[in-house]
Structure 1
Amino acid sequence: MDMLTVFAHEWRTALKQRSFYTFLFLFTFTCVMIFLILHQVDGMAGYTQLSATMMNIVLYLLPLMTLFLGALSLTQEKEDKRFELVMAYPLTTASYIVGKFAGQYAAQWIIITFSFGLANMIGLFAGVAMSLREFLLLYLFTVLLAAVFLALGFAIGAFSATRWQSLMAAVAVWFVLIMVWPSLLIGVLGFLPFGVVSAALQLFTLLNPAEVLRILFTNWLGGGAIFGQPYYELMTALNSRMGHVLLALYVLIFVSFHLTVAIMKTERKRKHGL
């Protein structure tokens, strides 16, 4: 019951914030524009340059917003002194963190669902709606991307004392995982012996949830060949029935790990006032 109370409070608070409606407008506008462009060219289906463009825009926009919202969800309460008040109640730290995460994620799910639904409805009226399979894959990609980066944002917020620190940390994480990841990966792999480059490439890829999701859904949209020989075995495994199971396990482990980190750090603050 404590977790449900925190969830309901966080969800209502998120819906009242101006940032929620700013994010809603921005993401809806982006989806509508790209959905209309996506099928303007006759014969375009599955994985195309246009669908890749949509995926990349979502990949740049959504992680930054979810990192901000997740990190600020914790640090704002610390700065406003509500954290000490909440922790005075007989409420476990796990219930507090998981409840806030679920509330924030529910609010973001509303944004994503409304944006995709409105965009596809406009596409239907305009005669340019995408196929159901393509729509569901892109929708699922966005929903899972929001989950993993929101959990990462909560971990950032747990280690940050102020909103300014959390914002700077969120931007730094976004910059590394989204903006400079390919260049960073190439630079690191350049120092490794040739024989271990392929294995190291796949291992490093698992450290970046954005890259994992991009590869998975690009492959399921029919564009797996663009990743070349280093990912051939991975593409073959993902095309099997186990691919969906592996994806679910990866997202579950990633989200659980970062929420656990946030819980442990918050519990330490609660006990020692650090």
Structure 2
Amino acid sequence: MIQTVHFAIREVKLGFRNPWAYSFMGLFTLFMLCLLLINAQGYVQGYSGITGTTLNLILYLLPLMSLLLGSFSLTAEKEDGSWELLSTYPISTWSFIIGKYIGLSIVLLVIVSIGFGAASFLGLAAGSGFGLQTYLQLLAFSTSVALFFLAIALLVGTLAKNRWQALTIGVSIWFFAIIGWPPLLIATLGFLPYSMIKPAVTVLTFLNPAELSRLFTVVKLGGGAILGPEYYEWIKWIKQPAGSIGFMATAAAWIGIVITAAQLIWERRRSRA
């Protein structure tokens, strides 16, 4: 536990020294502010065109930010020789990976919070913004996306030998999960008989954390009607009182599995070194 805390503190210090973090923070704040200024007529409540555009903006920026910051953090340890030094001490791989995840999570959540806060403050000054409930839901959506893709980033950093490999793998995952997902989903479902479409949609949605978070947020914002009949069961369980708890449990299990895989691979390579 103490080792994990030390690694987390170390990662927070390194994260806030990283110019990438501030570049993403500025970019995120700028685009959020632009969206709020476009909606200069008043305050946004629930699901709307502005809310949907904001969700897409978050999905374009935040997963890529998480993948690059997380994977570069691990590959930097390999390239700089820091891990070779650390591995000579009696530290556990699990403490190292979990400490990385906690520290980077703090960095990402601070970036997201400052981005949302600055954009909302400036938007309020201009007479535009999100309603409180909508704002909190978007903030929760951003948090879930960041945590999901940070776990994937650690797995990418574990597999990649250097930053270039991490960049290639990370951008490929981002493209597949965010941009390529809708046409790939439609193409896949087009080959299935009608009776298998709903089960396939469920399985495929759980495989893509970006889509899982997006569906949950759209339904919570009251936009479930736009999803179509294939997602009727999703709308039902998300709207239930236990829907949020179910989503958090699913997210925790998903993140836990990915981080465990990263830890096992890192430990295996450590034992071979």
TM-score for the superposition, normalised by structure 2: 0.97
**Structure 2 counterparts to residues 26-65 of structure 1, below 5 A:** 26-37=27-38, 39-41=39-41, 45-65=45-65
* Distance in 2, Cα, partners of 1:240 & 1:178: 27
* Distance in 1, Cα, partners of 2:146 & 2:253: 15
Pair 1:130 & 2:118 matched: no
Maintained 8 Å contact 2:41/2:127: no
User: Offset of 1:258 from its aligned partner?
Assistant: 1.0
* Distance in 2, Cα, partners of 1:86 & 1:44: 50
* Residue in 1 that maps onto 2:206: 206
Sequence identity percentage: 36
* Distance in 2, Cα, partners of 1:215 & 1:268: 36
* Distance in 2, Cα, partners of 1:168 & 1:43: 40
Tell me the amino acid that sits aligned with residue 168 of structure 2. M
* Distance in 2, Cα, partners of 1:51 & 1:61: 15
Residues 43-83 of structure 1 deviation map (CA, whole Å, 9 limit, x = unaligned): 85321111100110111111011111111111111011111
Further displaced range: 139-148 or 28-37: 28-37
* Distance in 2, Cα, partners of 1:79 & 1:44: 47
Tell me the amino acid that sits aligned with residue 14 of structure 1. G
* Distance in 2, Cα, partners of 1:36 & 1:245: 34
* Residue in 1 that maps onto 2:169: 169
Maintained 8 Å contact 2:66/2:146: yes
- Describe the shift of the 1:251–1:150 C-alpha distance in structure 2 as closer, same or farther (beyond 3 A): same
5+ residue gaps, structure 1, are: none
5+ residue gaps, structure 2, are: none
- How many residues of Structure 1 are paired with residues of Structure 2 in the alignment? 272
* Residue in 2 that maps onto 1:79: 79
* Residue in 1 that maps onto 2:95: 95
- Describe the shift of the 1:73–1:44 C-alpha distance in structure 2 as closer, same or farther (beyond 3 A): closer
* Residue in 2 that maps onto 1:117: 117
* Distance in 2, Cα, partners of 1:163 & 1:217: 33
CA root-mean-square deviation: 1.2
Maintained 8 Å contact 2:74/2:154: yes
Tell me the amino acid that sits aligned with residue 243 of structure 2. G
* Residue in 1 that maps onto 2:5: 4
* Distance in 1, Cα, partners of 2:186 & 2:71: 29
Q: Which ranges of 4 or more aligned residues in structure 1 deviate by more than 4 Å?
A: none
